[in-house]
A = this chain, B = another copy of it.
Amino acid sequence: MSQKGVTPRGEDYSRWYNDLVQLADLADYAPVRGCMVIKPYGYELWENIKNALDIRFKQTGHKNAYFPLFIPMSFLQKEAEHVEGFAPELAVVTHGGGKELEEPLVVRPTSETVIGHSFSQWIQSHRDLPLLINQWANVVRWELRTRLFLRTTEFLWQEGHTAHATAEEAEAETMQMLDIYADFARNEAAIPVIKGRKSNQEKFAGAEASYTIEGMMGNVWALQAGTSHYLGQNFAKAFDIKYRDENNEQEYCYTTSWGLSTRMIGAIIMAHGDDTGLRLPPRLAPIQVVIVPIFKNEEQKGPVLEAAHRIAETLLTVNIRVHVDARDEKPGFKFNDWEMRGVPLRMEIGPRDVESGTVVLARRDRPGKEGKSTAKQDEIRAAVTRTLTEVQSGLLEQATTFRDAHLHEANSLEELKESIDTEGWALLPYDGSAEAEAKIKEETKASSRCFPLEGGDVEEGTKCAITGRPAVGKAYFARAY
């Protein structure tokens, strides 16, 4: 059943998405074209994403730092592929303090160049390596077609930048961060992403190899939710990032970069949302439990509200993010409102519950009676903790079942077309060429998502299903954001 004001997914998925973003109070368009205002509820979700990632970065030895917003145009030009990739998307500052600048400044679209410059000063000897840095920042890419969270001119993200003595160490870092993203997506955002390597056409401008986590959205489109790049010595040579090794010889470093952005919020909306609103994974939800007091008159109101607040206090002691909805509105209105906002667990408490020392719990991941249960007030912390864990794994399970039902193998353009047309992702033996990808895009609007790390290998002699040339592996093709 669809909620008032929400376009059903089946009718218009794109409008459904916009409705949720607006009605759940996550974000709004800014007066500047393509920029967004992240509203408090959306920002709190981002803060929870941030904290969950930040702790993982710090546990693996990374330190946060901050680098400048502005980058001299000449810096971008030092890495040929890099500037070619980003030039069409740049915002350029030409005037400062009332004067025209001698050299235009670019508003960072990503910071490999300016951080590379710092690294070249910070790194002297092999003892300074590895250098493991992360930055939380805003970046700007001038996009023509924008969608809130998915593709905006300005967005928030983290960008990790590391330097290493050897290619092996840099490659291991690239894979470690990909694993961290996948772990985060799976265990915090409840999205069973697929890890894989990007084709040469889709890799980061200036990278040797790009890795991605790809999530399946509710309309079966793919969404790249995080990327990790092995940059080889490309940026080290462009920015002179060198170290003295044990034999006192100068060597270039090997570097990596990896990023995850506010786009993840779009992924969470589309991986879990339904026609009544958001469904937020408990580990990231700004409000994990909403308590709705139910009463018919003033006499009932006092004891019910008292119990609601007492239970909220109890839950706060174990750091459960709880909210008592004491607004002067009907329970039905409140139920709809919190379903729209995707609160994982609703607790209802009325006069009879007060008497019997119980409450009713209603899970957001399961509609109707199936998701309802009764819990004792004096065991409320355990009951809520357990139920939140169930909602978290419930969402992951549903997303995994949905994903697996839409993954297909394809061995020809025909089979690939059929997979895409029946709303699926097709795993196809692929030579990695631009030619094959262009043909597929033309016929199906699908693009290559990645050579999955698991299940992407092909036997010697396997041919690309499009060109007939030797396949380098199997790659997923899907329509994508």
Instruction: Take A37-B68, A47-B64 as given contacts and tell me if A97 and B88 are in contact as well, using a CB distance cutoff of 8 Å.
Output: yes
In chain B, what residue has the closest Cβ to A105? Answer: B32
Cα distance A75–B43 in the bound complex, in angstroms: 24
A95 & B97 in contact (Cβ 8 Å cutoff): no
B92 & A32 in contact (Cβ 8 Å cutoff): no
Cα distance A92–B140 in the bound complex, in angstroms: 14
Contact of A71 among B32, B65, B67, B75 (CB under 8 A): B32
A36 & B68 in contact (Cβ 8 Å cutoff): yes
B69 & A140 in contact (Cβ 8 Å cutoff): yes
B35 & A70 in contact (Cβ 8 Å cutoff): yes
B142 & A31 in contact (Cβ 8 Å cutoff): no
Indicate with 1 or 0, residue by residue over A66-89, a CB within 8 angstroms of chain B CB atoms.
111111100100000000000111
Instruction: Take A35-B70, A69-B35, A133-B40 as given contacts and tell me if A92 and B95 are in contact as well, using a CB distance cutoff of 8 Å.
Output: yes
A43 & B65 in contact (Cβ 8 Å cutoff): yes
Chain B residues with CB below 8 A from A91, complex form: 70, 93, 95-97, 105
Chain B residues with CB below 8 A from A28, complex form: 118, 121
Cα distance A36–B68 in the bound complex, in angstroms: 6
- Residue A156 CB within 8 A of the other chain: yes
Which chain A residues in 32-52 approach chain B with CB under 8 Å?
32, 35-40, 43-44, 46-47
Cα distance A31–B74 in the bound complex, in angstroms: 11
Shortest distance from the beta carbon of A130 to any chain B beta carbon, whole Å? 13
Cα distance A44–B107 in the bound complex, in angstroms: 25
Which chain A residues in 212-262 approach chain B with CB under 8 Å?
none
Chain B residues with CB below 8 A from A64, complex form: 40, 43-44, 47
- Residue A63 CB within 8 A of the other chain: yes
Instruction: Take A30-B114, A31-B75, A72-B32 as given contacts and tell me if A65 and B93 are in contact as well, using a CB distance cutoff of 8 Å.
Output: no
- Residue A325 CB within 8 A of the other chain: no
A72 & B138 in contact (Cβ 8 Å cutoff): no
Cα distance A107–B88 in the bound complex, in angstroms: 20
B65 & A40 in contact (Cβ 8 Å cutoff): yes
Cα distance A70–B47 in the bound complex, in angstroms: 22
- Residue A144 CB within 8 A of the other chain: yes
- Residue A117 CB within 8 A of the other chain: yes
Shortest distance from the beta carbon of A295 to any chain B beta carbon, whole Å? 21
Shortest distance from the beta carbon of A361 to any chain B beta carbon, whole Å? 27
Contact of A90 among B40, B43, B44, B97 (CB under 8 A): B97
Q: List 27 A-B contacts (CB under 8 A).
A: A28-B121, A30-B118, A31-B72, A31-B114, A32-B71, A36-B68, A37-B65, A37-B66, A40-B64, A40-B65, A40-B133, A43-B64, A43-B66, A44-B64, A46-B66, A47-B64, A66-B156, A69-B154, A70-B153, A70-B154, A90-B97, A91-B96, A91-B97, A92-B95, A95-B104, A96-B153, A107-B107
Interface residues of chain A, those whose CB is within 8 Å of chain B, are: 28, 30-32, 35-40, 43-44, 46-47, 63-72, 75, 87-98, 104-105, 107, 114, 117-118, 121, 133, 137-138, 140, 142-144, 153-154, 156
